């Protein structure tokens, strides 16, 4: 049987591709937010809570570091990264996974003309999982497909696929919302603002896909003209019953929301300097307009930030972006345990930590 090309593979509807990323009814490759129904997501949140509690003492850390000591993970990041790379690395260390990495293909055999497909085939021969980031939308999905068809399959985790998706960022964002809204009735029934480059920001796209698992939601999409939510996502949100409000007037939205998700303009994807025409001040939180938000509202950002959140806001009690990035380690470690079926070993020990 001949292999499909990447274009042929991605032409299949998402609903048809999703089952390929499961193995024996369990999550195997992590590619996109649509793979995480609410019960699975909340199970992973529970594991992350346990990991968080256990990470505070030597005994807990010692126990965790034995769980996946027999596994090796490859970090293959061909697009710049600080947080995703480091938090995956730290998450691997937390649960005992030994790691290897390629961040600069110029220092690997790709420099000698080896294809990425072949390079990843090498990784999957030496490692038990591959965590990757790549600028091409859908490329890691295609790699997962090729591997499965050529007999060398290890789980592939998408750490950011161009303008498409960033599912593990979305999981940690939802985990942060889940914890913040714990005593306020949870994620459902709340109003969320998403600000900035909603068209090309993969993190914000994945967050919206994931949030749509909840009920009774209002989304305020605050973006410059030409940078609004793309049609695939809009359709998904409408099908899930999300009430969508499109605007470019940030200050009018601020008093209305429980959570605001700020994003930077993704100008690395510009074709002809189109980002340069945006009035950035209109899509920024400052020490003045931040107080238009209700007191209980939370501010999230996948980071890195530029001017869209003034650093003067960092000490504001609504600013959650630093805890958000810390949560990334626990969520990613929880996901690794889940993929290798080790999450089931936690509850026994959890009793000790919750008493």
Interacting residues of 150 by C-beta distance below 8 A, sequence separation 6+: 3, 121
64 Cα distance to chain centroid: 23
DSSP H helical segments within 212-300, as ranges?
A: 231-239, 250-253
Q: How far apart are CA 255 and CA 250, in angstroms?
A: 10
Nearer Cβ to ligand NCD (84/176): 84
Q: Are 309 and 285 in contact (CB under 8 A)?
A: yes
Query: Within 243-272, which residues bind ligand NCD (CB under 6 A)?
Result: 264
Peptide bond into 304 cis (omega under 30): yes
Nearer Cβ to ligand NCD (73/160): 160
**Which among 178, 201, 180, 174 has a CA at the least distance from the CA of 263?**
201
Q: Are 138 and 13 in contact (CB under 8 A)?
A: no
CB of residue 263 vs ligand NCD: minimum separation in angstroms? 6
Q: How far apart are CA 121 and CA 142, in angstroms?
A: 12
Question: Which member of 35, 50, 124, 169 binds ligand NCD (CB under 6 A)?
Answer: 169
Nearer Cβ to ligand NCD (65/81): 81
CB of residue 120 vs ligand NCD: minimum separation in angstroms? 20
Nearer Cβ to ligand NCD (64/333): 333
Number of residues located near ligand NCD, criterion CB under 6 A:
10
Q: How far apart are CA 256 and CA 259, in angstroms?
A: 9
CB of residue 77 vs ligand NCD: minimum separation in angstroms? 10
- Pattern 201-240, ligand NCD, x by CB under 6 A: -xx-------------------------------------
- Pattern 67-86, ligand NCD, x by CB under 6 A: ----------------xx--
Q: Are 247 and 191 in contact (CB under 8 A)?
A: no
CB of residue 130 vs ligand NCD: minimum separation in angstroms? 17
Alpha-carbon torsion, ordered 28, 30, 33, 39, to 10 deg: 40
CB of residue 233 vs ligand NCD: minimum separation in angstroms? 15
Q: Per CB under 6 A, does 136 bind ligand NCD?
A: no
Strand-strand pairing, 259-262 and 298-300: parallel
- Pattern 279-318, ligand NCD, x by CB under 6 A: -----------------------xx---------------
Nearer Cβ to ligand NCD (303/335): 303
């Amino acid at each position: 049987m001949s292999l499909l090309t990447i274009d042929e593979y991605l032409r299949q509807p998402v609903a048809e591709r999703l089952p390929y990323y499961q193995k024996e009814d369990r999550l195997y490759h992590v590619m996109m937010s649509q793979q995480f129904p609410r019960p699975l997501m909340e199970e992973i949140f529970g594991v992350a809570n346990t990991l968080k509690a256990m990470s505070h003492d030597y005994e807990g850390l010692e126990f965790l570091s034995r769980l996946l000591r027999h596994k090796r993970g490859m970090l293959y990041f061909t697009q710049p990264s600080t947080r995703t790379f480091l938090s995956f690395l730290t998450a691997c260390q937390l649960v005992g996974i030994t790691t290897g990495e390629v961040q600069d293909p110029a220092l690997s055999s790709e420099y000698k003309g080896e294809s990425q497909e072949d390079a990843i085939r090498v990784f999957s021969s030496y490692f038990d999982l591959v965590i990757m980031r790549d600028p091409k939308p859908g490329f890691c999905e295609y790699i997962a497909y090729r591997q499965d068809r050529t007999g060398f399959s290890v789980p592939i985790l998408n750490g950011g696929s161009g303008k498409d998706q960033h599912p593990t960022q979305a999981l940690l964002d939802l985990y942060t919302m889940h914890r913040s809204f714990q005593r306020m009735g949870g994620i459902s029934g709340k109003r969320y603002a998403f600000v900035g480059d909603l068209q090309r920001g993969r993190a914000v796209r994945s967050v919206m896909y994931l949030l749509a698992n909840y009920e009774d939601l209002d989304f305020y999409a605050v973006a410059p003209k030409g940078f609004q939510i793309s049609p695939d996502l809009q359709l998904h949100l409408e099908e899930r019953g999300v009430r969508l409000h499109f605007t470019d007037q940030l200050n009018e939205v601020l008093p209305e929301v429980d959570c605001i998700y700020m994003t930077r303009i993704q100008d690395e994807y510009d074709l002809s300097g189109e980002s340069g025409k945006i009035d950035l001040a209109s899509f920024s939180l400052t020490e003045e307009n931040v107080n238009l938000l209700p007191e209980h509202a939370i501010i999230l950002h996948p980071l890195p930030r530029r001017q869209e959140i003034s650093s003067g806001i960092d000490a504001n009690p609504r600013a959650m972006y630093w805890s958000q990035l810390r949560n990334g380690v626990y969520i990613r470690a929880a996901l690794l345990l889940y993929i290798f079926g080790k999450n089931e070993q936690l509850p026994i020990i959890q009793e000790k930590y919750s008493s």
